[in-house]
Amino acid sequence: MILTFINPSELTLLLILLLIHVASSLVILFIVQKYCSWLNLRDGGIFGTIFGNTMPTLVGVIFAFVTIAAWQNHNSVGDTVSKEAHTLFNLYQILDAYPKDLKIDGQKQLIAYTQEVINQEWPKLNDQQFNLDTSKQLDQINFLFVNHKPSSFGELAMHNEGLRLLSTYRDLRRNRIESAKSFIAKPLWGALILSAYLLLIYSAFFKTRNIRVHSIMMALVGGSLGVMFFLLTIYDNPFRGPSAIEPIPFQRILHSISILQK
């Protein structure tokens, strides 16, 4: 959701978000101290200490929970992509047990399909679009397996394994395509942004003897929020942003196939 119209590097994105939140924290401090001085919180007792720590702790727990959930989802999708590529490679290898004509045709189609996934389908995942041509190629591979008639019990066993791998691959591919979307829904983004700025406003109400120290503290709070939003942004959509999942596992199986063909 954040910075969807540009694709900066991780360092650039981090600096942008740090600048935005540090600047916002200082602006909020200036407005509150100048126009809401009659609302300054000046409780030096134990109640003031406890109350002053409540909101930062609550907001911190919320951000930590959502960030960890987004990171786990990102890693889970990465594991799915790796399993998908490995399953495709296993399909290529099991074709060695099929008749020569079917083996050559099937392996050729699998190589072409893998190249199509890397070159055509992957860029569309970034835009959350579906590639119909790649699906048609997979249907042709499925047709090749389904229409084969084994001539012996040995071929039947290998054919059943091939059909199982093909079914597993289709499920993994479907999971990858369905995961090409934002993990954090728009209402949750809104709630996180609102919570962050409520925390900044809340922190600005406190009164300190040295306004420079207060400004530094506000800048540190804003910077911490900038880091949290940086992590949420790079892990929100597994196929978008500076930490987007690349088709490296598919590129590796093409390299492995080229080695096997030598």
Gap between the Cα atoms of 253 and 88, Å rounded: 8
pLDDT tens-digit profile of 115-151?
A: 999 999 998 887 777 788 899 999 999 999 888 888 8
Label residue 208 by pLDDT band (50, 70, 90). Answer: confident
Does 261 have pLDDT greater than 90?
no
pLDDT tens-digit profile of 68-119?
A: 999 999 999 999 999 999 999 999 999 998 888 899 999 999 999 999 999 9
State the Cα angle at 113 between 108 and 117, rounded to 5°.
150
| DSSP-H helix ranges across the chain | 10-35, 46-94, 100-116, 122-126, 132-146, 153-178, 186-204, 211-236, 248-261
Does 5 have pLDDT greater than 50?
no
For residue 56, the model assigns a pLDDT of 81
Does 42 have pLDDT greater than 60?
no
Q: Work out the mean pLDDT of the chain and round it to a whole number.
A: 87
For residue 40, the model assigns a pLDDT of 56
For the CA atoms of 22, 28, 34, 38, the dihedral, rounded to the nearest 10 degrees, stands at: -130
**Dihedral of alpha carbons 210, 212, 218, 223, sign:** negative
pLDDT tens-digit profile of 12-23?
A: 899 999 999 999
**In this structure, are residues 76 and 242 in contact, taking their beta carbons and an 8 Å threshold?**
no
Which tokens hold the place of 130?
A: 């579906």
Label residue 41 by pLDDT band (50, 70, 90). Answer: low
